[in-house]
């Protein structure tokens, strides 16, 4: 997995100017239009992500077939008008399965991100705000987490927790805590030195108010951007684990599981692996593109 490097690159880039908010004043809105017009790839990426989210919440918008029940007369039909992604060994429509699989995969990705964001964010927040030995201990812990390859840590957690989409998601989330903790700590350290924090302190504001009302809101932005950067990594990690067979059990159409099912028919039905894999690749590419736009490109442009 590549999140180690991505984290570092993101951590570096994230520390730059904070991404400006979208919308607001009319002039700004025109800026958004021009910004997007010059980047057709970004527009396409947003469209892809919207489609995936729609598929996850309302799969019936895209298909009316049953993802689990097949028609025995239509085994191994190649992709075509009736079945966009073809049919599998039980005559199930692969496109329907991919659409319904979006829900499981998106759910797993969001759980993984939430775990990493909350746990990593808290670690970083406490480390950055408490300082001294607390910071030393917590950040050493984070260094150790970084030194275990993410997939191996996830695999160890899967061994301990067991199989299933949610457990795999938690394992992936825990394995990517370190990056979030690092960025959060760096941002808290930066915010803590700001003049307004000193002013609040000198006015006698309690430490928890300083933390929640002044430090946290000013530190959280880059961590949110990191979360968008990590979406792609999380999708890939979850799909790898479910490809290895630790995700949802077979009838469920999770994306990684679909590919590992189709693997047995690689010689005679290429679409069973090729098209679900392409869906993962396009989704990850789209989220990475959006993350890059949020991660400074927008701010630099202005």
Partner 1 sequence: MRRYVIRRIAQAVGVLWAAYTISFLVLDFLPGDPVSAMAGAGSDSGPVDPAQLARLRHEYGFDKPVILQYLDYLGRAVRGDFGDSISTGRPVTATLAEALPQTLALAGAALLLAVVFGGGLAVLATYTTHRWLRQLLLSLPPLGVSVPTFWIGLMLVELFSFRVRLFPAFGGDGVRGLVLPAVALAVPTGAIVAQVLAKSLLTALDEAYVETAKAKGAGRARIHLRHALRNASLPALTVVGLLAGQLMANSVVIETVFSRDGLGRVTAGAVTVQDIPLVQGVVVFGSLVFVVVNLVVDLVYPLLDPRIVMASGRRVVVA
Q: Decide: is 240 part of the binding site for partner 1 (CB under 8 A).
A: yes
> Which has the closest alpha carbon to 280: 264, 250, 302, 258?
258
Q: What are residue 87's phi and psi, to 5 degrees?
A: -125, 160
Question: Do 92 and 149 touch, CB atoms closer than 8 A?
Answer: no
Q: Decide: is 176 part of the binding site for partner 1 (CB under 8 A).
A: no
Q: How many residues bind partner 1 (CB under 8 A)?
A: 51
Q: Decide: is 245 part of the binding site for partner 1 (CB under 8 A).
A: yes
Q: Decide: is 161 part of the binding site for partner 1 (CB under 8 A).
A: yes
The C-alpha atoms of residue 277 and residue 105 are separated, in whole angstroms, by: 13
Question: Do 57 and 97 touch, CB atoms closer than 8 A?
Answer: no
Out of 159, 196, 206, 217, point to the residue binding partner 1 (CB under 8 A).
159
Q: Decide: is 158 part of the binding site for partner 1 (CB under 8 A).
A: yes
Where residue 247 falls (left for φ over 0; alpha for ψ -120 to 50; beta otherwise) is: beta
Q: Decide: is 85 part of the binding site for partner 1 (CB under 8 A).
A: no
Nearer to partner 1, 216 or 248 (CB): 248
The C-alpha atoms of residue 295 and residue 102 are separated, in whole angstroms, by: 25
Site map 188..227 versus partner 1, x via CB under 8 A: ----------------------------------------
Nearer to partner 1, 1 or 115 (CB): 1
**What residue has token string 């607390």?**
134
CA angle 143, 105, 147 (to 5 degrees): 10
- The three-state secondary structure class of 87 is strand
Nearer to partner 1, 87 or 233 (CB): 233
Q: What are residue 237's phi and psi, to 5 degrees?
A: -65, -45
Q: Decide: is 109 part of the binding site for partner 1 (CB under 8 A).
A: no
Q: Decide: is 115 part of the binding site for partner 1 (CB under 8 A).
A: no
Question: Do 229 and 19 touch, CB atoms closer than 8 A?
Answer: no
Nearer to partner 1, 157 or 210 (CB): 157
The C-alpha atoms of residue 20 and residue 10 are separated, in whole angstroms, by: 17
Question: Do 176 and 116 touch, CB atoms closer than 8 A?
Answer: yes
> Which parts of 127-156 interact with partner 1 (CB under 8 A)?
140-141, 143-145, 147-153, 155-156
Q: Decide: is 76 part of the binding site for partner 1 (CB under 8 A).
A: no
Q: Work out how close the CB of 271 gets to partner 1 at its nearest, in angstroms, rounded to a whole number.
A: 10
Give the chain's length. 302
Out of 79, 91, 221, 277, point to the residue binding partner 1 (CB under 8 A).
277
Q: Decide: is 284 part of the binding site for partner 1 (CB under 8 A).
A: yes
Would you tell me which residues interact with partner 1 (CB under 8 A)? 1-2, 4-6, 8-9, 140-141, 143-145, 147-153, 155-162, 232, 236, 239-240, 243-246, 256, 259, 263, 266-267, 270, 273-274, 277, 280-281, 284-285, 288-289, 292
């Amino acid at each position: 997995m590549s999140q180690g490097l991505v984290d570092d690159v993101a951590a570096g880039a994230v520390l730059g100017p904070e991404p400006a908010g979208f919308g607001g004043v009319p002039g700004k809105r025109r800026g958004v239009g021009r910004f997007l017009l010059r980047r057709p790839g970004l527009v396409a990426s947003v469209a892809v992500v919207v489609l995936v989210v729609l598929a996850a919440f309302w799969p019936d918008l895209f298909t009316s077939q049953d993802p689990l029940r097949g028609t025995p007369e239509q085994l191994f039909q190649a992709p075509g008008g009736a079945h966009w992604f073809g049919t599998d060994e039980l005559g199930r429509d692969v496109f329907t399965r991919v659409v319904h699989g979006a829900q499981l995969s998106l759910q797993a990705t969001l759980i993984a991100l939430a775990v990493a964001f909350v746990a990593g964010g808290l670690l970083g927040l406490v480390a950055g705000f408490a300082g001294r030995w607390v910071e030393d201990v917590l950040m050493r812990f984070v260094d150790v987490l970084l030194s275990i390859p993410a997939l191996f840590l996830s695999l160890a957690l899967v061994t301990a927790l067991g199989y299933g989409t949610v457990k795999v998601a938690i394992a992936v989330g825990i394995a990517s805590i370190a990056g979030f903790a690092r960025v959060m700590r760096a941002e808290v350290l930066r915010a803590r030195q700001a003049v307004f924090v000193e002013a609040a302190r000198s006015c006698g504001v309690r430490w928890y108010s300083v933390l929640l009302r002044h430090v946290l809101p000013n530190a959280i932005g880059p961590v949110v951007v990191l979360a968008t950067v990590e979406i792609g990594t999380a999708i890939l990690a979850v799909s790898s684990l479910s490809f290895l067979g630790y995700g949802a059990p077979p009838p469920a159409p999770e994306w990684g599981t679909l590919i590992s099912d189709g693997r047995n028919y690689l010689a005679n039905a290429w679409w069973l692996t090729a098209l679900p894999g392409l869906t993962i690749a396009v989704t990850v590419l789209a989220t990475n593109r959006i993350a890059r736009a949020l991660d400074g490109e927008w701010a630099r442009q202005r």
